[in-house]
């Protein structure tokens, strides 16, 4: 019997409910229908195992292709271990791998020896026999005598072989129901007089009598002789004690006249300030109650709101120069241009064009653009005889329209429309033997120029292996610095300086390889096999950034270069370099790795050495490498004034 596998259906083999299935048919038409040329497959089966370290794959050769269907006939080799395994099919188009498909496979009780999988009808008979064994028809009669004694129960039943048998039960020490209350008995005769009791205890003492009248005052006695002068006590060198529970004391030392008692800072109010820097003016001169630093990844976005790969931003003018770069004749509609890579220094917003003779310049091209309206903008300076020309061309750089020219210096711009997919070619030159400075060269969607953006914005991500904290007074004097080693590179987290605790909540990985997938609509994307851990669905994209890709919320990517998102637990999907083949892209990625910085599903807590930050009386300014949260003791008067001001 054959079972058709649809989509991501699970596959069951072994002695389970599908044991009557001898063949499994997998429909590959979704992938083969869009292939040019021949296709082929290879199959692997990952045996079930108790842990990932024990899992291993075996090559499968007992399959055949019927049109766009792959037929798999399981054997004893795949049934040798029970549990969940995987069946992988790798598709090739003219010898090039294009996709890897995976189904989960549950293996039931393995077949013994060299037996082939059982026929379907055999499993049916086994299932029926199991059900028959579980069926029993039973009838029973029982009676119990409530009288005192040993009543019994006899149960008669008919077993699976049709023969009756009896089971006897005996019940001991049964007690009957309580009887009714009996009548009250007759009053008994009066008993004999008892013996005399012992003597009782002595009674309590009577109340005290009233106090008598006070006697007359006696005569004053004679004055006594003056006593000897006492010894001078030792002076204490210890600081006076702070206020506390009243006590007469036990010390035989005397305090000095100018002694000062310490303040009881436990009674001072506490306040909190957040920011970087943090400035407070009402601090008490004691150690900070709390000091935490929130760290984020270090990434310079070069003044823009996000990174983007080559061609992934709004400016579609690429880094490629066409036609050798110099021309001294008009460009006709039948001219096909060749490519030449430009110098890396031309990646910025300024290009210097060397002009040797009259009307010489350079030609630039956009990426392949979809149908739509585009605005062209270039600023030309320091040459009154400059010219800017634009052409429409197809994807192969063959022009499809005559040039639109503008002559002069300053900002030259116009809007054009592509009626079909193609490119915009831009030629800038000058009629003079001098250099021509071209700035803000940009082609973007729409009908007006927005702020200039480069063709690419690569923004590397770095972390920290230590945190610095600096405290000064309001005038930048009395500086005090702390350095907190983190033990390793940290890309995000919180450092509790006073408690000595580091909570790491972000991590970063570099990806130098990828797998490419493409759907039936022509969209493709890349994924990484790096395990980034399980994440809740509600926060898949939380904190996710890259060195050259945008972070998006939608988990479906494949339409725009620069998209990036979580696809599933531990997997990231992205798209860039749409003009490259997979071979070209893998070579590019090996030399230009993608960085992914992401939030950990479960933060990691590490122990550091606690450090105190001594605060000055009054003004304090605290700076650090991240957002500061400072908890401190306040001067009472200033604290009250601040509370009153907040209520006004």
Closest CA to 619 of 283, 272, 274, 290: 283
Pairing relationship of beta strands 423-430 and 360-366 according to DSSP bridges:
antiparallel
Q: How far apart are the C-alpha atoms of 184 and 205, rounded to whole Å? A: 50
* Residue 478 CB neighbours (<10 A): 12
Q: How far apart are the C-alpha atoms of 146 and 178, rounded to whole Å? A: 12
pLDDT at 495: 97
Tell me the backbone φ, ψ of residue 346, rounded to 5 degrees: -90, 15
Tokens (6 digits) for 381 = 């300076």
Tokens (6 digits) for 320 = 């490629």
Per-10-residue mean pLDDT of the chain, 648 residues long, equals 77 60 82 78 77 69 84 80 82 82 76 45 46 46 51 52 51 60 77 78 79 82 80 74 70 76 73 95 92 96 88 75 37 31 36 46 76 87 64 80 66 87 76 61 90 87 96 91 93 96 92 85 75 56 82 62 69 80 91 90 92 94 96 88 82
pLDDT at 431: 56
pTM: 0.54
The one-character DSSP state at 70 is E
Q: How far apart are the C-alpha atoms of 550 and 375, rounded to whole Å? A: 23
Say which CATH architecture domain 317-445 belongs to. Sandwich (2.60)
Rg (C-alpha) for the chain, rounded Å, is 46
* Residue 628 CB neighbours (<10 A): 20
Q: Torsion angle of alpha carbons 105, 110, 116, 119, nearest 10°? A: -80
pLDDT at 338: 31
- Residues 292, 628: contact at Cβ < 8 Å? yes
| CATH tag, 2-130 | 2.60.40
* Residue 326 CB neighbours (<10 A): 15
Instruction: Enumerate the domain spans of the chain.
Output: 2-130, 267-309+458-648, 317-445
The one-character DSSP state at 265 is G
The one-character DSSP state at 130 is H
State CA 536 to chain mean position distance. Answer: 8
* Residue 363 CB neighbours (<10 A): 23
Instruction: List C-alpha distances in Å: 635 to 65, 221, 268.
Output: 85, 59, 7
pLDDT at 354: 47
Contacts with 279 (C-beta within 8 Å, 6 or more apart), sequence order: 273, 474, 619, 620, 621, 622
Q: How far apart are the C-alpha atoms of 467 and 291, rounded to whole Å? A: 12
């Amino acid at each position: 019997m054959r079972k058709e596998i649809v989509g991501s259906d699970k596959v069951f083999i072994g002695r389970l409910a599908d044991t009557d299935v001898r063949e499994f048919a997998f429909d590959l038409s979704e992938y083969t229908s869009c292939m040019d040329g021949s296709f082929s497959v290879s199959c692997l089966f990952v045996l079930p195992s108790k842990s990932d370290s024990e899992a291993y794959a075996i090559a499968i050769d007992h399959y055949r292709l019927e049109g766009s269907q792959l037929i798999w006939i399981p054997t004893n080799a795949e049934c040798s271990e029970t549990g969940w395994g995987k069946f992988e099919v790798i598709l090739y188009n003219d010898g090039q791998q294009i996709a890897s498909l995976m189904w989960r496979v549950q293996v039931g009780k393995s077949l013994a020896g060299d037996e082939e999988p059982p026929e379907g009808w055999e499993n049916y008979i086994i299932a029926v026999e199991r059900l028959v064994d579980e069926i029993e028809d039973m009838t029973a009669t029982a009676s119990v005598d409530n009288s005192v004694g040993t009543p019994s129960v006899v149960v008669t039943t008919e077993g699976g072989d049709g023969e009756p048998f009896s089971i006897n039960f005996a019940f001991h020490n049964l007690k009957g129901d309580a009887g009714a209350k009996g009548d009250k008995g007759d009053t008994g005769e009066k008993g004999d007089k008892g013996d005399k009791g012992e003597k009782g205890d002595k009674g309590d003492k009577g109340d005290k009598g009233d106090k008598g009248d006070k006697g007359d005052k006696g005569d004053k006695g004679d004055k006594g002789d003056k006593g000897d002068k006492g010894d001078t006590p030792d002076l204490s060198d210890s600081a006076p004690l702070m206020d506390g529970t009243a006590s007469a004391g036990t010390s035989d030392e005397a305090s000095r006249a100018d002694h000062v008692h310490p303040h009881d800072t436990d009674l001072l109010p506490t306040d909190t300030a957040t920011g970087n820097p943090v400035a407070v003016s009402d601090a008490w001169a004691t150690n900070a109650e709390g000091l935490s630093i929130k760290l984020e990844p270090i990434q310079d976005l070069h003044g823009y709101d996000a990174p983007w790969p080559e061609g992934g931003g709004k400016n579609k003018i690429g880094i490629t120069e066409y036609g050798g770069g110099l021309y001294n004749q008009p460009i006709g509609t039948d001219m096909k241009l060749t490519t030449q890579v430009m110098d890396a220094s031309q990646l910025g917003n300024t290009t210097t064009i060397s002009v040797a003779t009259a009307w010489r310049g350079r030609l630039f091209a956009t990426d392949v653009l979809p149908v739509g309206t585009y605005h062209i903008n270039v600023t030309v300076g320091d040459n009154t005889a400059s010219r800017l020309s634009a052409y429409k061309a197809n994807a192969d750089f063959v022009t499809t329209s005559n040039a639109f020219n503008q002559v002069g210096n300053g900002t030259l711009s116009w809007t054009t429309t592509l009626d079909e997919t193609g490119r915009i070619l831009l030629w800038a030159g000058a009629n003079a033997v001098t250099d021509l400075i071209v700035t803000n060269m940009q082609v973007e969607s729409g009908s007006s120029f927005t702020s200039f953006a480069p063709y690419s914005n690569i923004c590397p991500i770095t972390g920290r292996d230590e945190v610095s904290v600096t405290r000064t007074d309001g005038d930048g004097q009395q500086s005090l610095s702390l350095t907190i080693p983190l033990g390793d590179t940290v890309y995000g987290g919180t450092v509790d300086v006073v408690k000595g605790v580091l909570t790491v909540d972000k991590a970063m990985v570099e990806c130098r390889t990828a797998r490419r997938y493409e759907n039936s609509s022509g969209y493709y994307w890349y994924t990484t096999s790096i395990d980034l851990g399980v994440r809740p669905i509600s926060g898949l994209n939380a904190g996710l950034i890259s060195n050259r890709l945008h972070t998006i919320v939608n988990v479906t990517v494949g339409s725009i270069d620069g998209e990036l998102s979580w696809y599933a637990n531990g997997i990231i999907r992205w798209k860039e370099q749409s003009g490259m083949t997979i071979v070209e892209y893998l070579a590019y990625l090996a030399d230009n790795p993608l960085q992914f910085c992401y939030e950990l599903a479960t933060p990691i807590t590490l122990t550091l050495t606690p450090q105190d930050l001594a605060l000055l009386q009054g003004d304090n300014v605290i700076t650090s490498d991240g957002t500061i949260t400072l908890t401190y003791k306040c001067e009472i008067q200033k604290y009250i004034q601040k509370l009153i001001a907040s209520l006004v």
